[in-house]
Structure 1
Amino acid sequence: MSCKRLAIIGAGSSGLVTLKHALDRLPGWEIVCFEKGGDTVGCWGNPYPGFISTSTKFTTQFSCYRKWDCEADPASRAKREDFFRGAEYGHYLKDFSGAFGLEKNIRLHATVDRITKVEEGWKLWMGEGTEVFNHVIVCTGLAERPRKVKTHLPVLRSMDELPEGKGIVVVGGGESAADIAHRLAAPELGNRVYLSLKTGIRVSPRYHPIRGVPSDFLRNRLMLSIHRGLRNAIGQKFVEARIRHREKFERAFHANPEGHAKDEAINARRKQWDARLTAAAKDNLFNVFHTKSDEFLDDVAEGRISIIGPPKGDGFREFSEFDGEGIIEIEPDIVCPMIGYTSGLEDLTDGELRVRDFHLGCLHVRHADMFLVGFARPIIGNVPTISEMQAKLVISLIAGNLERPRDLKARHEQERERVEREFPLLNTEALLPVEMFPYCDQLASMLDILPTVRKVGLRRWWKIMRAPASTLHYLDDDYDADAVDSQRVHSPPLITGLLVLIKLIDLVYRRMRRRASSRGSVCPG
């Protein structure tokens, strides 16, 4: 090959932001982005009528293409204008692609069927033709591919046309399950919807009773700097208090709530189910992965969704009672399984590549010319901005601006042990669960772009610690100091003071864990 060639597979949000940074940092390279579909809006560009994202526009936008601030105008709350609605995210991606002239490097309707390792790099198989590239970045991400269920009943997928007048069992407790259950329970459809849960769910409200702003805007770096174990323990108590005393929180912190049901009985049932689901989630999977599709709680309170336990056997006729010992018998018409995600990476590479073999979900431990972007699954957060940080790291390595860690294999083994220990209920062979900002900070540290006191000064650093956490804070070419100075802080002084107090406890807590770890009694956090 006369010049270096880079292949990017997938032109959704992860592929587009990777392509943008590759064109910026790799002059003289031949860069091709392959997209099997006919557009570049990805799977969430315009998924279905009435779609509302669970992360805000502010936290989901790329740092290299800013369009929104974190002001949180109360007038926008009723229409959920702080979030992407309908095709808005697709329009954002199209504008992004046009602003940086990415279309000329994208091949639409180009399906990569297989990837194989060759001496020069990697061979991509497409239909009857092949092409060889020096480096490959796979950006196809995690596809929703629920596990197969044994049933004689028709199976509904989340993107299928919604049925009417049917009895439907939705199986699963993640955001996708809660979202499809909510859509199926729309009054005009006349469905009987059952949400089958093995454990509870920790539901995070889109708009928080503190200040009435999106929950994203109260999640700051001061909070996230606290050890996860301590943070989750205190957070559990806070969530329980927030559910029980929502109205008091709203009055105390001037939330100016809108959209609550006016019927006191319905509000009481919503609160009761929120508390039951949270209590049953303790120490289970969906207390780790929060659900921000909170509208389904209104459906539960109003009787359009019935919460039931897991099925007994394969017939989907008998179910355990949720958080009880009884048996519930129903006669559903349709089953909608919403459990499980897959990368498709092993199929694409004939088993040669697995997600678990990529350090931090993006650097292959053996092949220095193969990368992933968009395969990390955030506990709470969003994929696009995580992907941008991964893209910056990967492209810096390819460009030679960053040295590949010499002890990568050892680092990876240590990281795998931690992931498997902390997420025993997840299939970590197929996905990498991450805490969004601690994970992004880890990548930023490798890139030497973390906003430290030494680099930004005490005043600006303290502002960054209290403002809504964002990848806009990293000190790279996209950093805007004036934008940081003007950023709104939504955390009330009382909450900030409590976080500072907890941080002092956290320092002692971490020291105690390190001492205990040195004696071999616990694993380090």
Structure 2
Amino acid sequence: MKVVIIGAGPAGLVACKSLLENADDAYPFDPVVLEQETAIGGTFRYRSYENAALVSSKQLTSFSDFRLPLSHPDHLTLEEYVEYLEAYAQHFDLNKRIQLKTKVLNVRRDPKGGHIVSYTRFDGSGTSNRGSAIQTMHAQYLIVCTGLHVIPSIPSIPGVEHLAAQTPPVKVFHSHEYKTRSQFEGKRVMILGTGETGMDLAYESAKAGAKEVVLCTRAGFLSFPKALNDFEVLGYRFDDEKKVPIDSLITNLAETAYVHPWVAASHIRWFVSDFVIKRLLWVLTGTQAGCNQWVGELEPERLGRAYVFLNKSHKAMPYINRPFRKRAPLLDYMSRYMDPPEDSPPQTDFAVDLAPFPTSFLPNGRAVFPNLERKDAKRIMGRDIRPEIVVFATGYQQDFSMLDPESNYPTPDQASIRNITREGDEDIAFIGFVRPGVGAIPPIAEMQTLFWISLIKGQVRQPLPPAHYHLLVKESARIKYGVDHSTYMSTLAKDIGAAPGLWQTWWEHGAHVLLCYCFGAAFTSFYRLTGPYKSPLAPEVVKTEIWDTITRRGWVGNIVMGLIPMIFYLSLNSLAYVAATVWVACGGDS
């Protein structure tokens, strides 16, 4: 069964490996990966820049059965992650399945069944296919793993054309063209976009010695550091060298495991979590907008885990906060968040100016900002901002032009079955096209692939329960592919019979693994303890690496962030169970 996988990033690699591992006599999967670049790694290799690092932890991002050493730092640089992917491909002997410098031109349905994939091979430069003939390949299945970061998205701003006419001309480019901080040295820099890349570039501008840095945000952001522990309470500093990765804090029991359908449908877990976190942040840092975030706050109706992607690039926040942070010394002594120490060179008085997106640029190159009631808008209003560099850190669009329009192929937004495939079109899958609010795409891609394999083999529970994992966004929202990482992962695991039960976990693996499962986050290794994809490596990963993330929280952390929420949510789910039982007994629908 030939399976063509388009793209050799993390999603394409794990899809290929999973198919090889789960091929059998009934389903003899024969995967081939077609990659247009000269090497594997996708966006992590080709969208990389100086000092770039993952904001998701190694514990969450690593694939379930190929882990990094316990001694390795929690967060990898992009170069280290590409090396990890290369080692993964070599370990599972995937390289012979990967055809580099191979661009897919067209995919169309074969009237006899399956798909006809047309492709061409590039020459040695990887940029031209002159003289290369178009070839075809028949595939029974197709997996699209081209990723979310493909075509730069550049919004239109009136007057931006005036920037090229300045003396000297203003450099305007998308963030994918940024490579080193020296590009910003001595310049007046404007960065459009406050996603993680925009925040990285703001920090790099400050450290490069830029004359001025203006960071523009559409509607705010939710800022958190990628690892927690830099807090001081009554003079006592919690700055353990082993900080806790933020994506390992959400526990399983009663939040993703043993959740009543009524509770899941109400999303009350997210709302309660948001309510508690906001109050805790106010006590610890003096603000509810984010972790030590004093400006750039989101609208109240969008502030929380249920609505947005957490911005875990936190390094620029000291520079952004400087003009706005005001807190009484007594409150600061009682509790405060400690900004990470400055690296060289220190700039203790430099500030990154937050601002709204400019509405236009004047012929003289000056930026015009909207008159808003936001704190940042009031501070920037009336200032003469004339950037020498403008960077669009405004994200990407996806490209599915290779899918023949006459074949009526779906796109990821039409993937009605768990955001992976469309009913009636199960022979084409989209892997890696959801983005978690807090989490990472590679482990999601692994679970999506396992779900799709089970679906093809007819081993997914039917009917599928309703999906309650999407982030809550307005109909007009630009990005609608957001999911809650924990809820989505556990949903897929339940669908394929890979979510371990408490009694089963204790019986098969003992109390240590059971305790880890209850207190741990939704790591993929948990969903390989049992079920169709059971791995002998999973128990050891749980008892060592995942146990380490739990013990780092300490007794106080595990009580506050683990035990208390579990008791509350278990009580809530128990009440829902009793209410549902009474409802059904009275003749209501189950």
Normalising by structure 2, report the TM-score: 0.72
CA shift digits 1:262-310 (9 cap, x unpaired): xxxxxxxxx9993323744533378621111000113334434211123
* Matched-pair contact (CA < 8 Å) for 1:169–1:336: yes
Task: Give the match for residue 48 of structure 1.
Answer: 49
- Aligned length in residues: 472
Correspondence 1:71-110 to 2 at 5 A: 81-110=73-102
CA shift digits 1:145-177 (9 cap, x unpaired): 223323223432213243443322222222122
Deviation, 1:238, is 2.0
Deviation, 1:513, is 8.1
Q: Distance in 2 between matches of 1:245 and 1:337?
A: 29
2:191 equivalent to 1:199: no
Which consecutive unaligned segments of at least 5 residues does structure 2 have? 121-133, 164-170, 230-237, 257-267, 323-348, 584-590
Task: Give the match for residue 31 of structure 1.
Answer: 31
Q: Provide the secondary structure at the position in 1 that maps to 2:293.
A: helix
For the structure 1 residues 422 and 44, does the alpha-carbon distance in structure 2 shift closer, same or farther, using more than 3 Å as the test? same
* Matched-pair contact (CA < 8 Å) for 1:143–1:344: no
Q: Distance in 2 between matches of 1:112 and 1:293?
A: 34
Query: Which letter does structure 1 place at the counterpart of 2:68?
Result: K
CA shift digits 1:113-135 (9 cap, x unpaired): 22222222112122422222111
Task: Give the match for residue 172 of structure 2.
Answer: 155
Query: Which letter does structure 2 place at the counterpart of 1:297?
Result: M
* Greater C-alpha radius of gyration: 2
For the structure 1 residues 420 and 485, does the alpha-carbon distance in structure 2 shift closer, same or farther, using more than 3 Å as the test? closer
Query: Which letter does structure 2 place at the counterpart of 1:187?
Result: A
Q: Provide the secondary structure at the position in 1 that maps to 2:143.
A: strand
Task: Give the match for residue 129 of structure 2.
Answer: none
Which consecutive unaligned segments of at least 5 residues does structure 1 have? 247-270, 519-525
- RMSD across aligned positions (CA): 3.2
For the structure 1 residues 240 and 122, does the alpha-carbon distance in structure 2 shift closer, same or farther, using more than 3 Å as the test? farther
* Matched-pair contact (CA < 8 Å) for 1:138–1:372: yes
Query: Which letter does structure 1 place at the counterpart of 2:244?
Result: V
Query: Which letter does structure 2 place at the counterpart of 1:493?
Result: W
Q: Distance in 2 between matches of 1:25 and 1:238?
A: 46
Task: Give the match for residue 59 of structure 1.
Answer: 60
Correspondence 1:203-222 to 2 at 5 A: 203-209=223-229, 211=240, 212-222=243-253
For the structure 1 residues 435 and 420, does the alpha-carbon distance in structure 2 shift closer, same or farther, using more than 3 Å as the test? closer
1:187 is aligned, of 197, 208, 225, to 208
Q: Provide the secondary structure at the position in 2 that maps to 1:227.
A: helix
For the structure 1 residues 504 and 404, does the alpha-carbon distance in structure 2 shift closer, same or farther, using more than 3 Å as the test? closer
Task: Give the match for residue 68 of structure 1.
Answer: 69
1:345 is aligned, of 400, 415, 421, to 400
Deviation, 1:425, is 5.5
2:526 is aligned, of 466, 469, 473, to 473
Task: Give the match for residue 104 of structure 2.
Answer: 112
Query: Which letter does structure 2 place at the counterpart of 1:25?
Result: N
* Matched-pair contact (CA < 8 Å) for 2:414–2:422: yes
For the structure 1 residues 21 and 280, does the alpha-carbon distance in structure 2 shift closer, same or farther, using more than 3 Å as the test? closer
Task: Give the match for residue 281 of structure 2.
Answer: 239
Q: Provide the secondary structure at the position in 2 that maps to 1:32.
A: strand
* Matched-pair contact (CA < 8 Å) for 1:202–1:277: no
Greater shift in the superposed pair: 357-366 or 338-347: 338-347
CA shift digits 1:203-261 (9 cap, x unpaired): 11123126533323434325854811211221222233332399xxxxxxxxxxxxxxx
Deviation, 1:19, is 0.5
CA shift digits 1:414-456 (9 cap, x unpaired): 549x84854545335xx52111121111111112111221211
* Matched-pair contact (CA < 8 Å) for 1:200–1:282: no
Q: Distance in 2 between matches of 1:221 and 1:68?
A: 24
For the structure 1 residues 10 and 118, does the alpha-carbon distance in structure 2 shift closer, same or farther, using more than 3 Å as the test? same
Task: Give the match for residue 142 of structure 2.
Answer: 136
Q: Distance in 2 between matches of 1:346 and 1:117?
A: 15
Q: Provide the secondary structure at the position in 1 that maps to 2:534.
A: coil
For the structure 1 residues 218 and 415, does the alpha-carbon distance in structure 2 shift closer, same or farther, using more than 3 Å as the test? closer
2:271 equivalent to 1:229: yes
Deviation, 1:16, is 0.5
Q: Distance in 2 between matches of 1:222 and 1:195?
A: 40
Task: Give the match for residue 555 of structure 2.
Answer: 493
1:361 is aligned, of 398, 401, 419, to 419
Q: Distance in 1 between matches of 2:541 and 2:463?
A: 38
For the structure 1 residues 192 and 172, does the alpha-carbon distance in structure 2 shift closer, same or farther, using more than 3 Å as the test? same
* Matched-pair contact (CA < 8 Å) for 2:8–2:40: yes
Q: Distance in 2 between matches of 1:502 and 1:377?
A: 25
For the structure 1 residues 347 and 104, does the alpha-carbon distance in structure 2 shift closer, same or farther, using more than 3 Å as the test? closer
For the structure 1 residues 285 and 272, does the alpha-carbon distance in structure 2 shift closer, same or farther, using more than 3 Å as the test? closer
Deviation, 1:405, is 6.0
Greater shift in the superposed pair: 141-150 or 443-452: 141-150
CA shift digits 1:447-479 (9 cap, x unpaired): 211122121118332222223542121223335
* Matched-pair contact (CA < 8 Å) for 1:45–1:88: no
Task: Give the match for residue 292 of structure 2.
Answer: 274
Query: Which letter does structure 2 place at the counterpart of 1:185?
Result: A
Task: Give the match for residue 397 of structure 1.
Answer: 455
Task: Give the match for residue 128 of structure 2.
Answer: none
For the structure 1 residues 34 and 82, does the alpha-carbon distance in structure 2 shift closer, same or farther, using more than 3 Å as the test? same
* Matched-pair contact (CA < 8 Å) for 2:184–2:208: no
